[in-house]
Structure 1
Amino acid sequence: MKKSRIFYFIIVILVVLLGITSRKITGIPLFIGDILYAVLIYFGFRFLLITLKKSTSLLLSLLFCFGIEILQLVQIDWLITIRKTTLGHYVLGEGFLWSDLLCYIIGTSIAFLIDHLFLSSRINQMNN
């Protein structure tokens, strides 16, 4: 199980780097970063809650992403202050967009499929 957790941690780090890079390079559509955010959240749940079923991680990821997006409708002073920081902006976003919800569905679905079709068998082999 330790190897599995390390494997998911490496994936999380790679997705963070890809996400930040996608925001820095002009020409990459902004929605790619939103999809990568959802992928990051999915693999983050897999890393933290490794014993959960993949389908549960998928559901938790969607709920988390949707929760963050809906929270962007809340305009409380302290929350706005956090959003103005670099980390706060990356984690909490800035403004509600319906299209972001679609990106989160796409991103978590892609991550789930990658995990289910490709990673699970590889992780099982590493643990044996």
Structure 2
Amino acid sequence: MMRIKVRLAYIVATCFILVAGLSTRIFSKSLPHFVVEHFGDALWAAMIYCVFRVILIKKSIEWSLLLSIMFCIVIEVSQLYQADWINAIRGNILGGLILGKGFLYIDLVRYAIGILVMYLVDKGIYLMRNGSLR
């Protein structure tokens, strides 16, 4: 029962982060340039961390940290591949949001920050609830 509640909390967090990330694009004209420029990628990576927590609820949060970093690196590096078929996928809204459009080193920094912040929040919540490390 506890795992179901924890998994549900990660699903809710994932949805909240998804809405926040999309909001940085939808309301880009109303937000500070720094937020529009950097927060979307950081939030996307934080969402990936939460998705790994949903999938790997029995594993330590360090597994989700590692896998989410690896996943984001693979997605970013895949943007160096510019074949017609994958560019067609990237050309639609969902494909572009998931796969991105062009490789940028700064995206790797944004991803790392988003994942690290989510990991630290996760670790902090765990420590508050249990009073000890996993």
Do these two structures clear the TM 0.5 threshold for a shared fold by scoring above it?
yes
Supply the distance in 2 between the matched residues of 1:6 and 1:121 (Cα, whole angstroms): 19
Taking structure 1 as reference, are residues 121 and 6 closer, same or farther at Cα in structure 2, changes over 3 Å only? farther
Match of 1:3 among 5, 22, 29: 5
2:99 equivalent to 1:92: yes
TM-score (norm. length: structure 2): 0.87
Supply the distance in 1 between the matched residues of 2:48 and 2:129 (Cα, whole angstroms): 19
Residue equivalent to 2:88: 81
> Aligned pair count?
123
**Higher RCO (CA 8 Å, separation ≥ 6 residues):** 1
Match of 1:16 among 12, 15, 18: 18
Percent of matched pairs sharing the same residue: 37
Supply the distance in 2 between the matched residues of 1:5 and 1:53 (Cα, whole angstroms): 13
2:40 equivalent to 1:33: yes
Secondary structure at 1:94 match in 2: coil
Residue equivalent to 2:110: 103
TM-score (norm. length: structure 1): 0.91
RMSD: 1.4
Cα deviation, residue 29, structure 1: 2.4
2:73 equivalent to 1:71: no
Cα deviation, residue 30, structure 1: 2.1
Q: Which segments of 5 or more consecutive residues in structure 1 lack a partner in the other structure?
A: none
Q: Alpha-carbon deviations, 1:70-114, whole Å to 9, x = none?
A: 000001111000000110011000000000000111111000000
Give structure 1 regions of 4+ aligned residues with deviation exceeding 4 angstroms: 121-124
